[in-house]
Structure 1
Amino acid sequence: MRTIVDLPEGERDQLDALCSQRGISRAQALREALILWLERERPRHADVFGLWSDRDLDGVALQRRIRQEWDQR
């Protein structure tokens, strides 16, 4: 997929300098940056799985309680 990215002049100059140092194209640098950003922002199920395991909670009961709150508004 091709796309157009508008960058302020300062960021473009920094990107060009980095690309020159590494011997890569702007496109390659942006692909690498996007991969790193997506990896960082991706939800990590292992990080959140079991967070409420110490609570005595019934998931269905919790859903019903939350939905009742919606109806009261």
Structure 2
Amino acid sequence: MTRILADLPEEEIERLDLIAHEQGKSRAAVLREAVSAYTAKPASNKDWLEIGFGAWKDRTDICDSVEWQRRERAANTRPWDNDYPVVRAEFPDLFDEEDDREHERHLAWLAENGMKLGDGNLKPGALGRKRARK
């Protein structure tokens, strides 16, 4: 066996000594095990592809990932968002009557202020100018 000299930070030496004490081994034995584990031949990326490919093919509890993502985004749609009517039509189970009432209140507020759906990205002060035109 070849002997080596290595410089390690004091904190790592302390952790190494603690592990050695807990396992009832010498510091050198723990180091040998660590180096052996570190240098063990890992499976190549191709091996992991072969192992994992098709692993979920028979799952029935998960849906199409694109559909899932669209539904998650739809779940965060608020009644005052510009796309509320479109999202509400596509995912009616995500919304209730209170959401619809809030949407109607929002539309009424917009009309009252001379605005329409989609005018939400106004510059500061634009609301005052719109009211002045009434």
Amino acid at match of 2:10: E
Residue number in structure 2 paired with 1:11: 12
TM-score by length of 1: 0.55
Query: How far did 1:44 drift?
Result: 3.8
SS in 2 for 1:24: coil
Mark the runs of 5 or more structure 1 residues left unpaired by the alignment: 51-73
- Percent of counterpart pairs with the same letter? 38
Moved over 3 A (4+): 43-46
Computing the radius of gyration from Cα coordinates, the structure with the larger value is: 2
Mark the runs of 5 or more structure 2 residues left unpaired by the alignment: 51-134
Higher relative contact order (CA 8 A, sep 6+): 1
Query: How far did 1:15 drift?
Result: 0.4
Query: How far did 1:47 drift?
Result: 1.9
Alignment of 1:1-73 (within 5 A): 1-39=2-40, 42=41, 44=43, 47=47
What RMSD over aligned residues (CA atoms) do the two structures have, in Å?
2.1
